[in-house]
Structure 1
Amino acid sequence: MTMLPSRAGTKGVPRAARERQVLAAATEEFGRRGYEATTMAAVAARVGVTKPLLHHYFGSKQDLYLACLDPVGERLLEGIRAAMAGPAPGSGPTPLRVLRALFTALDGQRQAWFVLYDATLPPDTDAARRAASYRRAIDGLAAAGTAELLNAAGSGDPLDADALAHAWRGLCTALVRWWVNHPDESPEAMVQRCARLFAAGRALLAGDEEGG
């Protein structure tokens, strides 16, 4: 079988650059359409390469998905762990530090969040297991953070912590979805917007307590 050249892609583009183009396009496709609806043909067409070349570079669709998943999973975990390790001067409370880490990790590839949280992954596959392992790790960090916040507020009920951790994941997903639809918003602008929303929520709750 004739092997494709390993040092360059089509049309004179170096292989490393072509692979970056493919990963960017595939991340967008997987994030927007989900694993099930994404095809290798569609990714190849977006980049302007042939489907055989895409298979030569990345193997199967699952292999391509994993190549998109791993970088975002690692970036998110690294950023969230650093955010929870301790505050930097002026970095704000833990929830805002975590959101800053999340937005920074996704900057330039906002759809990557939905690559990680993809409900269409085939069960009992390497893709589903790898994505689940990243989600468990992120959920574990969220659970530790929410439990710490609730303990500081005087609530030791583990079900409170579990409910808040689930709500936090939903909030993050909703914020990223909004961010995708507002491409001019920078990560720092999103952090400041979240700070205003949190402050408004605290003021609303304080007002309800005073009225009651």
Structure 2
Amino acid sequence: MAPRPNAGTKGVPRADREQEILRVASVAFGTDGFAATGVADVARAAGISKALVYSYFGSKEGLHAACLAEAGGLLAAEIERVARDGSAGVERGVRTLAAMFAVLDDRRHLWRLLRDPSAAVDGPAAEVVARYAARIEALAREGVLELLGDAGITDELDVSAMVRTWLGIVDSFMDWWVAHPDQDAGEMTRRVARLVTALAADHTRRLAARTPRREDAAP
């Protein structure tokens, strides 16, 4: 008699089975949202029993928190890698976005998972999101301090405002990209570089137009 598809983990190492459950659950949560996804849906997609999912993660909330931890850790690790590669200023910002596009190119559901409006606002999942958000914000602050410091700006409120602005820019670019699945990571990286370069060039041009030439300033 052939074994049932959900008969258990026989022959599959626990770590491998856990990763498979997380992969399937992340797709489900990131596609349909936390509220619309049940443990039975995940178990069915993974070809295992609900009892097995519960034995690994304890609850739907525990499974969701584990998915968020994996997604958040993946993004934070990429952002940290760019922070240590020697790039700075605007280049660091563009390289950070490029890294995020690359790591999520074939799994954009992870961004939707992290931004799910139906997720609980407290409990284990919210704690995981808050932890990784703080980690990413600290990296953003590091980059902003470097950028503004080069311009001689040290005011704490300026720094705080710029950190919020940069994080908002990142979220906006990522949301737009996820909503345009025809755009791959390479195309999106080129788009960001093009737009940022255009903004920087416009600022430089306007600044030059307002600055008097030396011969004009002479008495």
Interval containing the TM-score (normalised by the shorter chain): 0.7 to 0.9
Q: Aligned partners of 2:135, 2:55: CA distance in 1, in Å?
A: 32
% of aligned pairs identical?
A: 36
Q: Aligned partners of 1:42, 1:201: CA distance in 2, in Å?
A: 46
Q: Aligned partners of 2:30, 2:196: CA distance in 1, in Å?
A: 28
Alpha-carbon distance, 1:162 to partner: 1.2
In the other structure, the counterpart of 1:165 is 163
Alpha-carbon distance, 1:86 to partner: 2.6
Equivalent pair of 2:8/2:52 in contact (CA under 8 Å): no
Q: Which AA in structure 1 matches 2:8?
A: P
The correspondence for 2:96, drawn from 95, 98, 122, is 98
Q: Aligned partners of 2:11, 2:18: CA distance in 1, in Å?
A: 10
Question: Which runs of 5 or more structure 1 residues have no equivalent in the other structure?
Answer: none
The within-5 A match list for 1:1-212 is 4-7=7-10, 20=19, 22-44=21-43, 46=45, 51-52=50-51, 54-87=53-86, 93-210=91-208
Q: Aligned partners of 2:54, 2:145: CA distance in 1, in Å?
A: 45
Question: Which runs of 5 or more structure 2 residues have no equivalent in the other structure?
Answer: 1-5, 211-219
CA 109–128 in structure 1, closer or farther in 2 if over 3 Å, else same: same
Q: Which AA in structure 2 matches 1:65?
A: H
Moved more, 168-177 or 119-128: 119-128
Q: Aligned partners of 1:160, 1:114: CA distance in 2, in Å?
A: 30
| Residue deviations 1:25-76 (CA, integer Å, cap 9, x gap) | 4223323444334333444455566545543554311121122122222222
Equivalent pair of 1:72/1:106 in contact (CA under 8 Å): no
Q: Which AA in structure 1 matches 2:104?
A: L
Q: Aligned partners of 2:139, 2:153: CA distance in 1, in Å?
A: 19
| TM-score normalised by structure 1 residue count | 0.78
| TM-score normalised by structure 2 residue count | 0.76
In the other structure, the counterpart of 2:214 is none
CA 28–84 in structure 1, closer or farther in 2 if over 3 Å, else same: same
Q: Which AA in structure 1 matches 2:70?
A: P
Q: Aligned partners of 1:154, 1:139: CA distance in 2, in Å?
A: 22
Q: Aligned partners of 2:15, 2:49: CA distance in 1, in Å?
A: 16
